[in-house]
Amino acid sequence: MTDRVRSDDSVTFGVDIGGTKVFGVALDAAGAVVAESRVATPHAEDRDGVEPGADVADAVAEVVASLRSRAASPRAPVGVGVGAPGMVDRAGTLRFAPNLPGAAGSDLQALVTKRVPDATVVLENDANCATLAEQTYGSLRGVRQALMVTLGTGIGGGLVIGGEVQLGASGFAGEIGHMIVDPAGPPCPCGRRGCWERYASGGGLGRLAREAAYAGRLPHVVAQVGGDPENVHGENITRAAVSGDAGAMGVLEELGWWVALGLANLVAMVDPERCVLGGGLAEAGELLLEPTRRAFEVLVEGGSVRPRIDIAGAALGERAGAVGAALAARSAGRA
Ligand SMILES: [Zn+2]
């Protein structure tokens, strides 16, 4: 990674608004990430008098300002792409956002534009951005039928059909985290119960982990967090599994089953060549992919007769959303 960008390079910025962090990249014309920046995602408890989306737009603008100072170019960036979690309509309004309630209903594209007036701002769904990035530079290059699943604070999805990322009639295609897998399951911030992301996301991993901790299946992990099962979080599990803790590997196995259940349901619709798992949880790599593949073989319809469906990790890892947001801004600039 270089600190400075040549002045003749056309740099585009992409910013991914996640549940815990707002992460941005400066992407040069060749697709190389030339600068990165991140701030914590604002989640104000008291929203009295706070304009919906204003604090999130401030955070995006802060990341853009930081990228600008690091990827110094005499010209303003041609575009700023922003990936947001939730239902983004074709006009750039964040209609519904269970994991970013402070920005739900806001015209986030206009709010960011107001703060970065010299750039063209494009708002897209975060998982659709990640799909675009994997399609352009990563695990989905040349794949015509595919399913991208981002496992972060929640679950996002991107559908590739006939080589094109599908937006749907209103822009809401791929909102797969909120398909219900257990109507009697735990409540979801979307207002319903038993959504897939209650089980198979970062939040879901934390819940599965605490259940295992209370059941006495994670003695070493519980000891590491000071003895209280309530303090066990997803990252403790991933870390312990990497070092070979059997209880933690068991929790990832359980998580893999839930990931596979959702994939099996979606595969019935999409019939993809490949499923790609991205987002923060995918950083667990084979520790999650391997049990997911094993459970998927059992759960998918006609597993013994259908051609093998490849389940792979995202090549761009956690950067996919931000890189794809930059690509979305670039293609909007060309349109
Ligand atoms: Zn839900």
Cα 188 to ligand 1 centre (Å): 5
Cα 83 to ligand 1 centre (Å): 19
pLDDT at 70: 84
Residue closest to 260 by CA, chosen among 202, 183, 181: 181
pLDDT at 2: 42
pLDDT at 77: 64
Cα 36 to ligand 1 centre (Å): 31
Distances (CA, A) of 142 to 15, 146, 160, 316, 320: 25, 10, 11, 16, 17
pLDDT < 50 stretches in the chain: 1-8
Cα 123 to ligand 1 centre (Å): 22
113 near 81, Cβ under 8 Å?
A: no
Alpha helices in 45-177 (DSSP H): 54-70, 108-115, 126-137
Cα 72 to ligand 1 centre (Å): 41
- First-last CA distance in the chain: 29
pLDDT at 75: 63
236 near 225, Cβ under 8 Å?
A: yes
Cα 94 to ligand 1 centre (Å): 16
Both tokens of 187, joined, read 């409540």
Cα 17 to ligand 1 centre (Å): 18
Domains, the chain, ranges and CATH? 12-131+319-334 (3.30.420.40), 141-314 (3.30.420.40)
pLDDT at 251: 97
Cα 86 to ligand 1 centre (Å): 11
Query: Which amino acid makes up residue 306?
Result: R
126 near 262, Cβ under 8 Å?
A: no
147 strand-pairing partners = 159, 275
Cα 175 to ligand 1 centre (Å): 10
Cα 179 to ligand 1 centre (Å): 7
Cα 97 to ligand 1 centre (Å): 10
pLDDT at 49: 76
Cα 197 to ligand 1 centre (Å): 7
Cα 277 to ligand 1 centre (Å): 19
pLDDT at 1: 41
pLDDT at 76: 63
Cα 178 to ligand 1 centre (Å): 4
Cα 96 to ligand 1 centre (Å): 11
d(CA 313, CA 275): 8
